[in-house]
Structure 1
Amino acid sequence: MQTIFSWSQVSRRGVMALALGAGVAFAAPYAQAAPKTAATIGMTVEPGGLDPTIGAQVMIGQVTWQNIFEGLTTIDKAGKVQPQLAESWDVSPDGKTYTFKLRQGVKFHNGVAFDSSVAKFTLDRARGADSVNPQKRYFTSIDTIETPDASTLVLKLKQPTGSLLYWFGWPAAVMVEPSTAADNKTNPVGTGPFVFGSWAKGTKVDLKKNADYWNKQVSVKLETASFRFINDPQAQSAALTAGDVDAFPEFGAPELVSSFEGNAKLATVIGNTELKVVAGMNNSRKPFSDKKVRQALMMAVDRAMVVEGAWSGLGTPIGSHYTPNDRGYKDLTGVYPYDTEKAKALLAEAGYPNGFTFTIKAPQMAYAQRTSQILQALFAEIGVTMNIETTEFPAKWVADVLKAADYDMTIVAHAEPMDIDIYARDPYYFNYKNPEFNSVLAKVEASTDATEQDKLYGEAQTILANDVPALFLFVMPKLGIWDKKLKGLWENEPIPSNVLTEVFWEE
């Protein structure tokens, strides 16, 4: 028998009773949905670890810097140095003594207090004989470290170091709690606004809001955040469209950017970065030990074609290891412009009238593979044969190229800001040695005059543009695709990062 049920005959109380009996939850009339407090951020490459003080991969900092870990200083979204765990500092007139006043009341995620002894441990670890810090050389000017009291740190330097405060803001200089240092690679413990939750290898890293965050001037809106690792560009696009990820701050497929134009849900934000795409050469290995060969290869490169083919025209050609964002920038793309005939002539002068054959070790990332294929075609025009060997990044590339320098040519986007000094490092994978260049960089550090430093940076750029220890190609833009209601992500990238401190959902 079928029962006919009339809603008009049932009282409000009866309706609620029926609903509860059926296990149905009714929202109060006109109740607003709770604001979203979770965000999923997409990344192309998964880091090999989560401790930026022991690993060179920029992806480590993109997950942990300013989220989990913090430093004595920090770099803001405009690229400027700001106080962080050091609230202030004094520098002696001779530039050789730095006295830091440390913040009080700061605790690591495990409850241990941050103080001068922790800062001393961190810096000693970074500069020690057994240090594997990726920026170890930035700490070598420190002679002695004194801790007069818990909130005072005094550094005595061997020589003035004009970039010290800037370097202290980098991921490699974040403060590390001694008892957790050995495990930070897989279980990072810092002082930041987010606490490490879990890491599903190959998939994602989850963070949780730090309820006891020391900086009460910052209102952290996100309760949870996830970094999801999606390598395939098509899969990145699909994840954004489906809402499986809320943002790809560094979208990996420039050819697909136009497909988001006019999207009602997703915003396209193109900013600047420090990502310098260069084809590094092993300067200690023939024929790349001959400057004329390197210059010839540079003249064989049509940078405009590279930018168009590798990154859909979204990039800025460069003539040295420097970006237009950096202080003292000089446009040196005209030093060795594209000129096939002059390139052939230089090769002949160097003793290679019929060219030569070599191998490029190219990471699997799209920009590296595409650029390699374009270079292969351009070099063929001057009689040079380049074979392409795809090299897994980061693990194999770091082992074979960065550490062992076992390669002819490679290609990678150097992401660290103002890192022109890498050509002065010994050892470093370019195997480039130029005392004049090293001298110019030493003068930069010895000076506290910004105008003089900018002039010297110009000289350093010019030396590299003429010597061509690497083929200087282009600067990548920051291609951000994210939900229009997600606010607070950095549009530009003065330092590789995904800072979540001020990220929130617009209601």
Structure 2
Amino acid sequence: MYKTLTSTVCALALTTGAALAQDSITVGMVLEPPNLDPTGGAAAATDEVVYANVFEGLTRVGPDGSIGPALATSWDVEEDGKVYVFHLAEGVTFHDGAEFNADDVVFTLDRARAEDSTNAQKVLFEGIESVEAVDPATVRVTLDAPDGNFPFKMSWGDAVMVDEASAADLATNPIGTGPFKFDEWRQGDSIVLSAYDGYWGEKPALTSATFRFISDPTAAFSAMMAGDVDAFPNYPAPETLTQLEADPRFKVIVGTTEGETILAMNNTEPPLDNIKMRQAIAHAINRQEIIDGAMFGYGTPIGSHFAPHNPDYIDLTEQSAYDPEASQALLAEIGGDAPTLRLALPPPTYARRGGEIIAAQLRAVGIETEITNMEWAQWLETVFKGGDFDLTVISHTEPLDIDIYARDDYYFHYAKPDFVALMDQLTETIDPAQRSELLKQAQQMIADDFVNVFLFQLAKTGVANAKIEGLWENSPNQSNDLTKVRWTE
């Protein structure tokens, strides 16, 4: 009797556990976010956790890259793109119960564009002249010039809506309006979210989500095989994808990203302030060797800072093609002692593996490097914020971000006046054909100036339990959007 009862209880417990597992998910991530405030930092890992899950903006990016409504259910465009009137969803609350209304939009946008703003994409808000709450459900945004791209700008993680009462603590206690609320952050291990009962929109199928941080490729593979992780949307061990694809427990999801992977160069520091030196470095780099050696063949070569899947892309790879003889000739023309350059490598696999290959390629033409492997927080502080580097390998995953080359304080320090003028013209242009032509000119200009070495477009190689549906195939932005994710039988 005792034995039978015990067996029955155990069987019930296992059944209950299996049932519970079908509305929860554990997602693997390579990098741990330095903080959880997408409006106060540049780390892609922050958006990977909180975008669309915890925080929402006026607009949002869909899985196909299109811009659609979010907290603004619709908007009107007036004065040829100089005024936007946003109509807000009603009955929305933040996770602490505070009501969301037009005043929160005014606070959020004014905070983002303030002189003391710490928003990493402050440029998104620079064109705003005023923000006015017409009534609790209507906001009028007046720009200083027409901007046909403004709804796109409002879809960024940097533009999500926040409440003044909780804004100061978002880094460690994120409070948004999204379908999931923040539960717990186990530093160095994981972040836990749970479904928000008071969510105003369509409820998610999942009741909880755990993001686990696993940077080591071998550990990532082991976690998938053991079932410790249900999905790894940006899987860091492409060398094992063939093995996982052959296992019926898993599905491999290969798509594209907005991630232009570059060998960034500090354009203001000698010897990299010399275009011939930058050109010599570019011709020393064999892109395909890096794609094969670091990414196991996953990646598309690029010759400028633009995504190949974008209809306005132009292929400029031949302009900086691998040509070690041309590289050595340029170095001889420059003269002097061969330089030794500092190469800072952040944690992602593409950077660490790719950086070693790049160092060997540069050595082959006479350029030595000193490699420093940096943790993510150190890279952000030293390289991205401090500009204290010569070379670094990084993937820029923000969508349509060629405008970063117009920022005089951006870490690779380009901001050529002609390019700044080009971006100003793009901002004021509404006509799609004219915008397309300006984007092509922008790609050509930074390729002509060899601002950086443009390596490859980062592929999205994901792995998931075969019973999971709703994960994004492509990455039009940096998020792991769980709003449509569900388990199937």
Common fold, TM-score beyond 0.5?
A: yes
Alpha-carbon spacing, 1:242–1:152, altered in 2? closer, same or farther (3 Å): same
Aligned to 2:179: 193
1:295 and 2:279 matched: yes
| 1:253-272 matches, cutoff 5 A | 253-272=237-256
Question: What is residue 58 of structure 1 aligned with on the other side?
Answer: 44
Structure 1 residues 197 and 33: CA distance shift in structure 2, 3 A: closer
Contact 2:179-2:203 within 8 A present in 1 as well: no
SS at the partner of 1:60? helix
Aligned pair in 2 of structure 1 residues 102, 338: CA closer, same or farther (>3 Å)? same
Q: For residues 283-335 of structure 1, what are the alpha-carbon distances to aligned partners after superposition, in whole Å with 9 as ceiling and x for unaligned?
A: 11111001111111111111111111111111111000111122410111011
Q: 1:174 to 1:26 in 2, by over 3 A?
A: closer
- SS, match of residue 342 in structure 1: helix
Deviation at 1:67, TM superposition (A): 0.3
**Structure 1 residues 344 and 505: alpha-carbon distance in aligned structure 2, compared to 1, 3 A threshold:** same
Q: Work out whether 1:156 is the aligned partner of 2:145.
A: no
2:357 is aligned, of 346, 352, 374, to 374
Aligned length: 487
> Does the 8 Å contact 1:53/1:171 carry over to 2?
yes
Distance 1:59 1:26 in 2: 39
Counterpart secondary structure, 1:411: strand
Q: Give the alignment of 1:49-448 within 5 angstroms.
A: 49-215=35-201, 218-352=202-336, 355-393=338-376, 395-448=377-430
Return the offset for 1:375.
Answer: 1.4
The alpha-carbon deviation at position 24 of structure 1 amounts to 4.1
Once the two structures are TM-superposed, the CA of residue 344 in structure 1 deviates from its matched residue by 1.4
Q: 2-side partners of 1:105 and 1:372: how far apart? A: 50
Q: Are 2:446 and 1:464 equivalent residues in the alignment?
A: yes
Equivalent position of 1:3 in the other structure? none
Contact 1:355 1:382 in 2 (8 A): no
3-state SS of the aligned residue for 1:464? Answer: helix
Confirm or deny: 8 A CA contact 1:280 1:471 kept in the other structure: yes
String of CA shifts for 1:103-126, please: whole Å, max 9, x gaps: 111111111111110100000110
Report the alpha carbon displacement of residue 177 of structure 1 after superposing the two structures with TM.
1.0
Q: Does structure 2 retain, via aligned residues, the 8 Å contact 1:19–1:25?
A: no
In the aligned structure 2, how far is the partner of 1:189 from the partner of 1:150?
A: 20
In 1, Cα distance between equivalents of 2:348 and 2:374: 10
Compared with structure 1, are the counterparts of its residues 296 and 213 closer, same or farther at alpha carbon in structure 2 (3 Å cutoff)? same
Q: Which amino acid aligns with 2:487?
A: W
What are structure 2's unaligned runs of at least 5 residues? none
More helix, by proportion = 2
Give the superposition deviation at 1:26. 7.0
Distance across 1 between alignment mates of 2:320 and 2:437: 22
Contact 1:319–1:334 under 8 Å retained in 2: yes
Distance 1:214 1:240, change over 3 A: same
Say if 1:88 and 1:102, in contact at 8 Å, map to a contact too.
yes
Q: Say if 2:215 and 2:347, in contact at 8 Å, map to a contact too.
A: no
Aligned to 1:478: 460
Structure 2 counterpart of 1:407, one-letter code? F
CA distance in 2, matches of 1:281, 1:292: 13
Relative distance call for 1:23 and 1:477 in structure 2 (3 A) is: closer
Q: Distance in 1 between matches of 2:231 and 2:6?
A: 41
User: Over the residues paired in the alignment, what is the CA RMSD in angstroms?
Assistant: 2.0
> Aligned letter for 1:377?
A
Partner of 1:454: 436
How far apart, CA to CA, are the structure 1 residues paired with 2:274 and 2:368? 17
Distance 1:433 1:491 in 2: 34
TM-aligned CA deviation for residue 363 of structure 1? 1.5
Cα distance in 2, alignment partners of residues 175 and 163 from structure 1 = 19
For residue 39 of structure 1, the aligned residue among 25, 28, 36 is: 25
Letter in 2 for 1:439: A
Q: How far, CA to CA, are the matches of 1:293 and 1:425 in structure 2?
A: 22
Q: CA deviation at 1:22?
A: 8.9
Separation in 1, partners of 2:311, 2:407? 21
- Secondary structure, in 3 states, of the residue corresponding to 2:80? coil
Q: 1:22 to 1:310 in 2, by over 3 A?
A: closer
Q: Match for 1:232: what amino acid?
A: D
Structure 1 portions without partners, runs of 5+: 1-14
Secondary structure at the counterpart of residue 166 of structure 2: helix
Shift in Å, 1:379 = 1.4
Are the equivalent residues in 2 in contact too, given 1:274–1:475 (CA < 8 A)? yes
Q: CA deviation at 1:32?
A: 13
Deviation string, structure 1 residues 338-375 (Cα, Å, up to 9, x no partner): 111111122222334x5322111112332112212111
SS in 2 for 1:82: strand
